Amino acid sequence: MLHKLITLVLIGSIATVASYAQLHRCNTDEMYEQLFKNTPAIKIDFDKNQRRITEASLESMGARNQALEGTIPVVVHVVLDDENQLKITDAIIKEQIDSLTLSFQGLNADSNRIPAAFKPSFAKTKLVFKLAATNPNLEPTNGIVRVLSSKTYNFNTFDDVKNSLLGGSDTWDPTKYYNIWVVSFTDNSLGFGIFPFDPRPAYLHGVVLNYQVFGINKPYELPEYNRGRTLVHETGHFLGLFHIWGSTNNNSCTDTDFPFLTTKDDTPNQLKATLGNPDPLNNSHIVTDLCTSSPPGIMYQNYMDYTDDIAMVMFTNGQMDVMENSLLNSSNRSPLLQSNRYLPPTSIIDPNKGYSITPNPFNQSFTIQLAQPTTPLQYIQLISTSGQVVKTISYGNGTTSPKLTVDLSTLSSGIYIVLLNFSDRKATENIVKQ
- Rounded to whole angstroms, the Cα distance separating 219 from 227 reads 11
Of the candidates 72, 344, 384, which has an alpha carbon nearest to the alpha carbon of residue 207? Answer: 72
Determine whether 224 is an active site residue.
Answer: no
Amino acid present at 132: A
Pairing of strands 178-183, 69-80: parallel
Q: What are phi and psi of 116, to 5 degrees?
A: -55, -35
> Which run of H or E residues covers position 54?
helix 40-63
Amino acid present at 352: N
- How many helices (H) and strands (E) the chain has is answered by 7, 13
E strand intervals along 297-359: 355-358
Of the candidates 317, 311, 432, 422, which has an alpha carbon nearest to the alpha carbon of residue 375? Answer: 422
User: Which residue is catalytic, options 69, 139, 224, 234?
Assistant: 234
What's the chain's length in residues?
A: 434
Of the candidates 306, 322, 310, which has an alpha carbon nearest to the alpha carbon of residue 111? Answer: 310
Across-strand partners of 148? 80
Contact 356, 427 (CB under 8 A): no
Contact 363, 433 (CB under 8 A): yes
Say which residues have a Cβ less than 8 Å from residue 94's Cβ, sequence separation at least 6: 131
Maximum distance among all Cα pairs of the chain, rounded to whole angstroms: 93
Say which residues have a Cβ less than 8 Å from residue 411's Cβ, sequence separation at least 6: 382, 390, 391, 433
Which residues are tagged catalytic?
Answer: 234
